Structure 1
Amino acid sequence: MHPVVADLTTSHLRALDAALPSACLGLYLTGSVAAGDFHLHTSDVDAVVVLDVVPQDCSALQAIHERIAGPPAYDVVYLTPADLAGDPGTVTRAPGTLRGTWREGPLPAQVSPVTWSEMARYAVPVRECPGLVIDDDHDRLVAFTRRNLEDYWAPLVDEIEAATPEELANPDEVAGTAVWTVLGLPRLHALLVTGHVVAKTAAGQYALEQFPDHAELVGRCLRARAGEDVAFAAADAAEVVALARAVLESARVLPDPAPAVPDPELVARTPEPA
């Protein structure tokens, strides 16, 4: 574990135990840290905290996070064992942080079949909750992935295509959009081929294999994620859109994958092409 992540989670657990004695049953790292794809200057730290009960008054939890300085952003969701043992769609209270900002109420970014699958398959326990059961439902994960393609990614690609020259004038914003899309969208394609939730770097490597016409752009996005100073410009937006539309069109006709056998190594390495 990266020492920054170790210090962050140790401090978080210490503060939780002081503010809510005996309430914290477990803390698990998901996302890039668990996938072996954490990059200090470009990655968030994602975590699931298991509480015996999510308090009605979350002011103590909010105060803890207001004292946690970033970067990296520390994105935490607070859940109970009963939440994780059931359908994430039934969870009505899941406070936490998103991009380092406190919020209350479940969000698909954290309360979804993807998080449940990460928890079941490769989450890293910092504090392990005895007897924890995760409802990692394959069909639910696949259905959520297909909805996410249409409800989030397709409209995002439309927005990128419709962006004005003024909106594309900031190279840093173009870079952020390019890396997010080029490494994010192929993760869904890879899941529909392999049945596995893969890391962003593995998704980029997968895109190099599956969509080689866009190899130069994908390569730049991979280098940017790794922390290199890579140049992006307004003209890149058109190729981001072209790659994204190719991924969307291909994903829509993929058959549902068979249930995957959990494989902690696969999330961080390149899946085999279809």
Structure 2
Amino acid sequence: MDYIEFLGTGGTRTPTQGTTCVKVSPHCVIDAGNLINTFGDDVFTIEHIFLTHSHLDHIIDIPFLADLFVTQKAISLKIYGLKSTLDDLRQFIFNQRVWPNFEEISLIGHAEKTIELIEIEVEKPYYIDDVTLTAFKTNHTEGSCGYCIEKEGSGILFTADTYRCDRIWELLDANPHIHSLVIETSFPSSFEKLAYDSKHLTPALLEDELSHAKRRDFSVYVMHLKTLFAPQIIQELETLQLLRNGGRVLIDGDKIDFKV
């Protein structure tokens, strides 16, 4: 793959739009908001899921994926995240009450467990297929992070959900090979208090945040719009001219090439 593909881009799940899910290589995705519907018969090719945080719209397909994998796979599904994200999966999902504990259930006919939860560190690169993923801390939940996605000397910065976050602009300024920023904008600017309380961005907040970057040569892509307010958010983004250098509001199925 010479691109990343957005399988889910919505801030709300609808009959026609999935929530956050990005395919970064043939066997690896970031987040699990829309895996089963988009992979279809190829769903068993998924081997690695890197999580940004534990909110439901980012993990929703993992329990169902484990349920499918337990009788069909010979190797564990590897799920990566910061400690608090993995703790949430253990405590609130795979707890034998909400869902079976597939971390302890073996694959049928094999010794390996159905899922393996792997704690990652921020600012440490992880190599999957021919892609490098490096997590960085974001300002959304205790265990939230974004990822720098790199291949053959080119980079795409994916923030996932976040509020104001200085680390985004530090990474962009320090790494000129990062040519694209994918960032969320969930609410219209009139919902500034709700954005603060839920740790999301608005177009006005994004405009202010972009001013912190010294560089101006990267493309800006926006996703995670709350469906009820999508037309208003898009209008504000366009009025403020925030979709820079060929960027756009992403929809399910969109791709960003590693090489530009």
Q: TM exceeds 0.5?
A: no
Structure richer in helix, relative to its length: 1
TM-score by length of 2: 0.28
Higher Cα radius of gyration: 1
Relative to its length, the structure with more strand (as a share) is 2
